[in-house]
Chain A
Amino acid sequence: MTKPLPTDSVGIVQPKRHRFTEPLTLASGQTLEEYELVYETYGELNAAASNAILICHALSGHHHAAGFHSNDEKKPGWWDNYIGPGKPIDTSRFFVVSLNNLGGCHGSTGPTSINPKTGEVWGADFPRLRVRDWVHSQAKLADVLGIECWAAVIGGSLGGMQAMRWSLEYPNRLRHCVVIASAMKLSAQNIAFNETARQAITSDPDFKDGHYLKHNTYPKQGLAVARMIGHITYLSGDGMGEKFGRELKSGNFELGNEELVEFQIESYLKYQGEQFSGTFDANTYILMTRALDYFDLSREYENDPAKAFAEARCKYLVISFSSDWRFSPERSREIADALIAAQKPVVYAEIESSHGHDAFLVPNERYQQVFSRYLKRIEV
């Protein structure tokens, strides 16, 4: 027996795929001769193609943002809480496009794809990507879909960086930019966490300098540890305390007990690491964290964010979460301040939540209100 789908779900969705045969010049100077992007769409594109929304995913995201691939799928897409009929990104009004970014490991061309020049898996030789490379490839996808101008480009975390970059690279191709739990550049502490995660992967003996697939090995343990490190930074200390406290999964502290004591949080992190390392590619993880580290919105605008945003022509919604210490509210306030200095329209809201950085994925009444009301104002 298959379970009925929730009524506010976009329902069963099918990923689509497009092959781009025109070369893409990357920020690194390298060129991708051809590439494929996997994407999903929800809702209907209207005749004027004025109701399209682009979803940019974060570090571990992919194209499956909403709905179910089958009736048996246990969990819906990663942002199903916010995409669907009547939800903040209302698919009864908007045509939503969500893709797996270049360099990803969920179907778009990336380190696990075949390098046409060598006939072998790219592995660690896959070109390094920057956020702007994603933005350019997303623009090519928009061309294919007949979308001249997005009603909105929306992203959380690394996705928010893409949304901001869109507004500078293609100022005439979006009307609204929604930047959630993001930053104009990473802090030293953020880069430090990313590098520690990368070290966990590259020091796994099965990593083989990134050519593990050729050697029929996989740095599963390293990737699991990388994910565990990341996961700690996505939760807040208080949130973790509320959820796990010092509860024990097994063992006890009674005198004479030699059984190993395992805390609930240990078990949880191990489970998260294991789940993740079974479905994600280690080279993609390295590539994505590097793109995060390299991103600096105003590097080529004399390090002046207001100068960068002077390019933009869209309106902005910026949202942060009180307990997010990975992309703290301070970082989002800097975005809002730069937009004000550049005299750009912006709404900024700071949402109370104990869910840390992950809050942008979790249901939250106020977040939903702000998000819904803002998108309702967008004319299509």
Chain B
Amino acid sequence: MRIDLDIIANWVSPNSRVLDLGCGDGTLLAQLTQDKSIFGYGLEIDEDHINQCIDKDVNVIEHDLDERSLQNFADASFDTVIMTQALQTMRYPDLLLNEMLRIGKECIVTFPNFGHWRARLYLALQGKMPVSDFLPYEWYNTPNIHFCTFKDFEILCRQKNIKVLHRQVVTDNSIDQFGSQVLPNLFGETAIYHLS
């Protein structure tokens, strides 16, 4: 599910410099390069993803975000630093957020909402950690080690004095879409935050 890419593209200025942390197969950077003429780099750890980035002519740098710091990137050296669907897999998401805001003038972060009603229902009724098509892992093998809800994330932003420029909630069906307008933390599946 990558419906968030179009929304992200709206928040990226043409001809700007973009750093994508955990850039995956390079789809987002390739799209931004084509549509917005951005100049970007992606950091990635997975071999197959790195290969796919090379095929797309994306500037990909092999980099383990958990093992290596981002100290090699200068302050405010990018217009936008992006991290899609990976913050919850990081060992120190809060410290990474600091780094993203140091390196980028603005940041865009997306993550799955653990406060979604289906996750809540699953835990409440089954008494087990939620497993779904979207989050298909068991608790012991999931790469998602730091789940949060929209509410959790916004509390962290307030603590860190991070300004939320935009928030967009993504849903994948009409019920959620309707519900998320009133109760985003209950009906939103994925959040996209634009921060500075």
Contacts and interface: CB of A to CB of B under 8 A. Distances in A.
A377 B59 contact: no
Interface stretch (A81-89, A272-280, A341-349, A354-362): A341-349
A373 B54 contact: yes
A349 B62 CA distance: 5
A309 B18 CA distance: 20
B17 A343 contact: yes
Interface in B28-52: 39, 41, 47, 50-51
B55 A377 contact: yes
Given A336-B61, A377-B55, A377-B57, A349 B39 contact: no
B60 interface: yes
A341 B74 contact: yes
Interface size range on A against B: 10 to 19
Given A349-B50, A370-B50, A370-B51, A340 B61 contact: yes
B159 interface: no
B77 interface: yes
B72 interface: yes
B92 interface: no
B17 A347 contact: no
B59 A346 contact: yes
Contacts, number: 40
Interface in B50-101: 50-51, 53-55, 57, 59-62, 72-74, 77
A186 B54 CA distance: 29
* Main SS class of interface, A: helix
A340, A343, A377: most-surrounded residue (chain B CB, <10 A): A340
Nearest to B71: A337
Interface string A88-103: 0000000000000000
A18 interface: no
B95 to A, nearest CB: 20
A333 B73 CA distance: 12
B39 A343 contact: yes
Contacts of B61: 336, 340, 346-348
B39, B55, B72, B74: most-surrounded residue (chain A CB, <10 A): B72
Contact of B62 (A341, A345, A348, A377): A348
A347 B60 contact: yes
A370 B48 CA distance: 10
B81 to A, nearest CB: 13
Contact of B54 (A333, A343, A377): A377
Contacts of B53: 347
A345 B60 CA distance: 9
Contacts of A350: 62
B60 A337 contact: no
Given A333-B72, A336-B61, A347-B59, A341 B77 contact: yes
A340 B62 contact: no
Given A347-B60, A347-B61, A348-B62, A369 B72 contact: no
Interface in A323-380: 333, 336-337, 340-341, 343, 345-350, 366, 369-370, 373-374, 376-377
B73 to A, nearest CB: 7
Given A347-B60, A347-B61, A350-B62, A373 B55 contact: yes
Contacts of B41: 340, 346
26 contacts: A340-B41, A340-B72, A340-B73, A341-B74, A341-B77, A343-B17, A345-B59, A346-B41, A347-B54, A348-B60, A348-B62, A349-B50, A349-B62, A350-B62, A366-B47, A369-B47, A369-B51, A370-B50, A370-B51, A370-B54, A373-B51, A373-B54, A373-B55, A376-B55, A377-B54, A377-B55
Interface of A: 333, 336-337, 340-341, 343, 345-350, 366, 369-370, 373-374, 376-377
Given A347-B53, A373-B54, 13 more contacts: A333-B72, A340-B61, A341-B77, A346-B59, A347-B59, A347-B61, A348-B62, A349-B62, A350-B62, A370-B51, A373-B51, A377-B54, A377-B55
8 closest A-B pairs by beta carbon, nearest first, are A373-B54, A337-B72, A348-B61, A350-B62, A349-B62, A345-B59, A374-B54, A347-B60
